[in-house]
Amino acid sequence: MKRCFKIWLLMTSNSFQTILASRLGVLIFVFGKLFRIILYLLFVYFLFGNTKEIAGYDQNHALLFLLTYTLLGSIGQMLFREVYRFRPRVISGDFDFDLIKPVNPLLRNMAGGFDLLDLITMPIIIFLLTKVIITFNFGLINFILYLLLSINGLLIIGAIHIFILGFGIITTEVDHAVMVYRDIETTGRFPVDIYKDPLKQILTFVVPIGIMFTIPVKVLLGLISWEWIVLSLGIGSLISILSLKFWNYSIKKYSSASS
């Protein structure tokens, strides 16, 4: 584990140098990310301009769900950005070299491209989220469970990216799978309670958007039972295990570009 962490730090350093090579590009992308956050906040403001509640949630609730989604989604993009560059490595044959190097190929192609741009905007997101959280009354246990289930959500996000990598090895299609996931992920900006069945059930158990983004907030607000907490942690563990098994399966099915 210590060796993997050192390797990750080295790859992160290389990623920073690549990103900082274009300072104008950094400014443009950071502005774009900040502008997206502003648009999210304005959407909530205007959404609740003429109504007090939606599905039993008021404006502060909506902001809590939105900022939790933004934080977890940004961390996922920040850590797993290298997945977006995986397809060229497969079709060019560069992935062959990852398999013979003394570095875990999953680590190299999943977390080898730490995104500095998301790290720059992270303090702003955390500040806004903290400002919203302190407007609610909750116990210490609720907050600890909120953090625990948020970590569980990040594990699921990581597992989904592993599935995408495995899918990319078998089919060489990664970009479309990532974009489909990103589109589905946006449904987590608000609690899945606002959607009707069967979409609500699909977003909870098939593509666990509700487990990733909605459940942590509902735990903080004291709106769900212990059964849901245990179920959420169980689903997160199961998906993580299955993703690693699928990755190992895809590696066995990999056909070298030079073969």
Q: pLDDT tens digits, the chain, 259 residues: what are they?
A: 677 677 766 777 776 666 666 677 677 777 888 888 888 888 888 878 777 877 788 888 999 999 999 999 999 888 888 888 888 888 888 888 878 877 788 888 887 777 777 788 889 999 999 999 999 988 899 999 999 999 999 999 999 999 999 998 888 777 788 888 888 998 888 898 888 888 888 888 888 999 999 999 999 999 888 999 999 999 999 999 999 999 999 998 887 765 5
Q: Is residue 258 part of a domain?
A: no
CA 258 to chain CA centroid, nearest Å: 34
Q: Is residue 6 part of a domain?
A: no
Q: Is residue 130 part of a domain?
A: yes
CB neighbours of 138 closer than 8 A, spacing ≥ 6?
A: 220, 221, 222
Give the structural domain span for 189: 13-253
Separation CA 122–CA 249 (nearest Å) = 35
- Residue whose C-alpha is closest to residue 120's, from 56, 58, 241, 29: 29
User: Which tokens in the block code for residue 179?
Assistant: 């974009």
Residue linked to tokens 């490595």: 89
Specify whether the CB–CB gap between 68 and 152 falls below 8 A.
no
User: How many domains does the chain divide into?
Assistant: 1
Q: Is residue 5 part of a domain?
A: no
Specify whether the CB–CB gap between 256 and 93 falls below 8 A.
yes
Q: Is residue 1 part of a domain?
A: no
